[in-house]
Structure 1
Amino acid sequence: MSRPLTVAELRDALAALSLDSRGTKNTLKKRLARATRSLSRSSSPARPPARERQTRPPDQLFDSFLVFDVEATCEEIEGPWGKLAFAYPNEIIEWPVILLQWRKKRRRDAGLSEAGEEEDGDDEDDWELVQTAEFHSYVKPTWRRTLSAFCTELTGITQRDVDSAPTFSQLCRNFHRDFIIKHNLFTSENKTVWVTDGPWDLRDFVAKTCYLSNTPRPPWLAGEIIDLRLLVSSFFAGLKETNGPSQLDGSLSNAFGALSVNEEDPQTAAANPAASLAQPLPTPIAGPLSASSAVPIPSTTTSPDPPVPAYLPSHQLTAPSSLSLPSVLDSLTLPPFSGRLHSGLSDARNASRILIDLAHRGVVLQTNRRVPEGGKGGKERRWGWMKGGEGARRVDWEGFLQKERARLSTREAERAVELAQKRLG
């Protein structure tokens, strides 16, 4: 056992370290002990940095996906003016959002881990995309508060549903507080992206509703998004390039044709709204989903009622005849559309199934569209009935409708004259 240092030795040791050598013996001992510990820590090998917790596969760009499909007010415009319905001042009346997030797959072999224990491997194939939460609310319109019979027949949404609902501005506050903040979405730790079935919901319906309700577009409803139809098209186009046209039928070009910028939204374009009444509206899920209720990748098992197609690998798939949700589900050999067509909640849930399956097939889920359009700082779309001013004066739908009917009549008359001249010539 070494002898204790004297006061003189303590002062010499502290001076050698360029430290204060004044004070009592006890003070000098404590000062030297602290210096010795500090030197020991600095000379020891540095600890490796703590491993950052992975929240997504290494090749994927986003942690969370908000699959979104609204329903909006609408009116039936008959005769040759039917396309004018696409310019109608729609207000959002249903707001369903499905939250999908990544998780590590659970081990299938009980001998490799405890029951329910998640794998720790780094293999990108260990991940799966699952549903973790759901938000649903009806929305009260403020421009025309009474729903048309056509709208109720098409969507299944009743006047009672919207009368007791929040307005759009109230909904935005509720959704931000109760869902975005609650799930830590749109943060640096949780990269989040919207997913929509086509551009209409975020580009058109939100723009119209913001205008009609005098509500600025929230920043979390703008920016880069995933257009599911474009993503599906890219997926099947990639299969065509890899496998050649013999593996995919000619319907692929028809599906791509449906992606025209001028394509109108499927809600207003419904040819037979009465057919959608065959199924009741789905029941929203109350609260967040537990891990046991998360929706995994599709099963390959079949069920006699309704019949479920055999789940095929990607190279054996046939391109969809259109990019509608039922057609895409069929082409991916997933179970048929579940729920009621033109119910926002049913549409969002089925769109989620498509995104989950594309992730399972190895598709990188990356953005392919921006809202508002036109790049960073792009301006909202405008329609001819937007007149500025306050209250009802901000909307001149009847005047716009009359002017467009006259314009279309003139165009049709000119075309008839041109056709007659060609026949005579």
Structure 2
Amino acid sequence: MEQIKRQRSNTVNNYDNNKKQKIQVETNRCLLKECVTCFEDLSNELIYEIFELLDFHYVYDAFYSLNTRFHNLIVKSTLPIDVNLSSISKSIFQRFNKDIILPNKHRIHSLHLSNLCLYDDISSPIHIVSDFLRLETLSLNNIELKYLEYLLSTLVSLPCLSSLSIVSADFILNKTPIYYQVVRLPALKYCSLSLKGLSYNELFSPTIDEYSSIEGNIDILKTRLTCSCKGYEEQVYKFVAVIDFEATCTAEPPNPYIQEIIEFPIVLIDVAKQEIVDTFHSYCKPILQPILSDYCKQLTGITQEQVNNALVFTDVFINVEKWLNDRNLISDSEQKCLFITDGPADFSKYLRMQCEISHIIYPNWAYQWFNVKKAFSDFYFVMRGRIQNMLENLDLPFHGNLHSGLDDAINIGRIVVQLIQDGCVLVSNECYALSRVTSGRNTSLSTAQYDPSKMICLNCSKSHFKDQRSCMEDAVKRIQKSESHHSRIHSNQSISSKKIPSLLDLPYLSCTNSQTFGHQFSSSRLS
């Protein structure tokens, strides 16, 4: 009986709820009917927001003659006007030009024009574009050379023009004068030019295309123009080799923290062909920190298995010099190959430290190099940036995975190729001041043929290779001192003293050639 009463009670409640919902819906419908209004009842602010979503000539065609209110909204406004004449008919343009463009030249913010018949019209905006003092964006499609030359000579008077896009309609044999006019524009920040014609041996591309297209940072385009006008100097080197190491790392490194090279890539570029012609790549097995941190694996994409199966740096270094010698890049005194890095750290920090760790004499071919980051900034007159920033300035995408040594080296190579094409002469712009080699160009002998007594430690400027000592001992002492201080603070805790890996534990190997050196090192590590 109670169950039946409950069911009846629930039925009544459901009926009441449904009735309330129905009443609420009907009430909402009534409210909506009361809120419905005509377009003319909207506020001026809302109408202006709607106008911004439409091409202005559509607004003009629909509302200019509708009534006095809308006529005044269009005519008496101070808001900027974006004019798009790409799809307008000539008859509508003549009325639009008379009623809107000519009386409101000070309001025009952007202008887009692609209709061929409008270029011929004497009343076309391109003939009075110098009066559009607020113009910021100009886009011209299918424009003929005779109009383009006239137009560019007048754009220099526009103080706000920051974006320019041009697509030519006819064949242009010599595009350099056009480029010269473009880069003279005082406020221009972005430029996109597609000019029909030959592009061989010209400003931006060494190939022959139907269109020669440029796009990107105007400061870089100015540099390209300057080099094109004064002519290109002959390159010094036949080849350039890009090196970009990856090393062990951790999210919160202790002080001091010794990093070991775990990836050794080389990308070889033929300067005359302006292309990558060969690559070398090898992972390296770290000795002091054989287990990669999660941070290192995530950053570089290098797995623990890859370094476990890799050769130690000494053996990799032997393969590197063999690879370079097989290509006759470091075997004679001819200035044949220039080494390129992204900043000074690859040679001055990572290679120097790794040579200390592996007891390898610092290679003579790495005493001077070409810092592409520094050269890029100096050549194009832009701020120094990372690989991605340089590629963005050149309007080039990044290929591959960032912080992959080989991918980074390939992308640096693409930047170097663009520098060559733009007329930058590649010469060493950084070197080691700690070296005792005094000649302007190091003689390219095998690294193992150097006399250790003549080498100065790149870490402390002292010569201590002869007595088999290493200044890395100072780093070990700092670690031990830090641990001693830590143990005094926590005197109540029993702290087991850790064995600090010392480079002094590794024997200094005298050798006469790289092969003997590699075998001795490998056997000493095994023992």
TM-score (norm 1): 0.49
Name the structure where strand makes up a greater proportion of residues: 2
Point out the structure with max Rg over C-alpha: 2
Name the structure where helix makes up a greater proportion of residues: 2
Q: Tell which has more relative contact order, 1 or 2 (C-alpha 8 A, sep 6+).
A: 1
